[in-house]
Chain A
Amino acid sequence: MKIAYYPGCTLKTKGKSLETSALACMGQLGIEAEELERWNCCGAVYSLADDDLIHIVAPVRDLIRVKQAGHDKVITLCSMCYNTLARANELMRHDEEKRKTINDFMDEEPDYTGDVQVLHFLDFLRDEIGWDKVKEKVTKPLSGMKVAPYYGCTLLRPKEVAIDRADQPEVMHSFLETLGAEVVDFPGAIQCCGTYQVLGNPDAALKVSHDILSDATSHGAEALALTCPLCDYNMSKRQDQMLQKYEGAREVPIYYFTQLMAIAMGIPVEECHFELNRESSVQLLKSKNLVTG
């Protein structure tokens, strides 16, 4: 099965562990992800202003590239890219007036009408591959590993692009169950990590990220699985600051969902680029005999 793949700005450097592990898993599942030959950054956040169309131009351009490459579906790994592309696509589908303005503005590009389907790897696995198929490829189940699924905001809100129910999502729960992990449900799973406020209000972002992690551990989680390089930055890279600042803060290993998938599928550990994770992430996998050495 061939599908167009849109990486996004972070997945070639700081978030490459998300990309390499995902591509390896796709290979195992017989999915041929064709990275778009030409693409630009989607803008990461969808414009929320009714009179601001210029910020919709970037994601629409990428959707045009998908069509130009001869595809009608595109898959993303970063949930912020997913949200931005999917919302731009909805607008192009349903708002005739804005569609025309955007198409007229991009006079160097072919017109676009929203006929590409934007998918996140998680709903693609659920709806187009199926958990049974994924399970067949699991050779090293994550038995006894207590993982909290963290959805964040952009996979679930707003409704028109949500890949699951906003209040009680299940897709990542099912995903982790398929990998053999013990899924730890916790309320913080759908709360915001503070996202770009790491620039504007770094202390506030640190606090909300810390709240999520302590919520997860207090529900018995040993680790957290997530889908977004900005969530990863806020909760994994900035965790050292939490450990210093908040009394009772505990070390929590953080993984991209695809890293756990790769481990469960017995994919060589190098594909996971664990050097970009917290050290505790590898230690936990070793203690569960999922990674040797």
Chain B
Amino acid sequence: MAREISLKTIDDRFRQKIKEISGQNFQQCFQCGTCSGSCPMTEHLDLMPRQVMALIQFGQADALDVAKTPFVCASCHTCMVRCPRGLDLTKIMEAVRLVKLRRNVNEIEPSNLQPEDVTEMPQVAMVSGFRKLTS
């Protein structure tokens, strides 16, 4: 997928926002791909974590706004433990999620949960799921 990277497409405010929310200097990422190799969710992602990092570095807000990867991330912290640059990718993923969720957008709708799933599920699933996936 070719993307135009130019002053026209780089959204610097988005980059600032991600930096503010995550507290991480994502420019340190040197695209080694250790995160992608460590992620347990790899086969379910539309973008590898490394690609998410690249898109953030280039302020590609539009692409990240429709990306599934941040919402498939389970915050397991494996990438963070292994990142040779010491970046906390879980915080960066959270920041990308929050940029969207804070516009009052829900990734999942609590009221649309199947009654039988709610009956089966432990409370901790809903508490954590709503935290991560609802606004």
Q: Tell me the A residues contacting B by CB distance below 8 Å.
A: 8-10, 13-15, 41, 43-45, 47-52, 55, 78, 80, 153, 157-159, 166-167, 190-192, 194-201, 203-205, 207-208, 211, 228-230, 232-233, 237
Contacts and interface: CB of A to CB of B under 8 A. Distances in A.
B124 A49 contact: no
B108 A199 contact: yes
Contact of B124 (A10, A47, A50): A10
Contact of A78 (B40, B80, B124, B126): B124
Contacts of B120: 233, 237
A49 B74 contact: no
Contacts of B95: 48-49
B128 A80 contact: yes
A234 B22 CA distance: 29
Instruction: Find the residue from B43, B120, B122 having the highest chain A CB count within 10 A.
Output: B122
Given A10-B122, A191-B76, 13 more contacts: A9-B123, A10-B124, A44-B128, A45-B132, A48-B95, A153-B75, A153-B77, A157-B76, A157-B80, A194-B40, A194-B74, A198-B121, A204-B41
Contacts of A158: 77, 80-81, 88
A205 B129 CA distance: 12
Contact of A200 (B94, B108, B127): B108
B2 interface: no
Dominant secondary structure of chain A at its interface with chain B: loop
Contact of B21 (A51, A159, A211): A51
Interface string B66-85: 00000110111110110000
Interface residue tally of chain B, by bracket? 35 or more
A87 to B, nearest CB: 11
Nearest to B22: A50
B125 A51 contact: no
B41 A208 contact: yes
Instruction: Find the residue from A8, A153, A159, A229 having the highest chain B CB count within 10 A.
Output: A153
Contacts of A229: 122, 124
A159 B80 CA distance: 10
Q: Which 4 A-B pairs have the closest CB atoms?
A: A192-B76, A199-B129, A157-B77, A48-B94
Contacts of B81: 157-159, 166-167
B79 to A, nearest CB: 10
B100 interface: no
Nearest to A152: B76
B98 interface: yes
B57 interface: no
Contacts of A9: 123-124, 127
B128 A195 contact: yes
A71 B13 CA distance: 46
Interface string B91-132: 101110010000000011000010000001111111111111
A13 B107 contact: no
A194 B72 CA distance: 9
A191 B129 CA distance: 19
B37 interface: no
B122 A199 contact: no
A200 B22 CA distance: 22
A14 B122 contact: yes
A50 B92 CA distance: 10
Contacts of B60: none
Nearest to A200: B133
Nearest to B93: A48
B44 A204 contact: yes
A48 B74 CA distance: 12
Contacts of B133: 196, 199-200
A195 B132 CA distance: 11
A14 B131 contact: no
B91 A233 contact: no
A195 B76 contact: yes
19 contacts: A13-B123, A15-B122, A15-B124, A45-B127, A45-B132, A49-B95, A50-B22, A157-B77, A159-B81, A166-B81, A196-B132, A197-B74, A197-B129, A198-B125, A198-B129, A199-B125, A199-B133, A230-B122, A232-B122
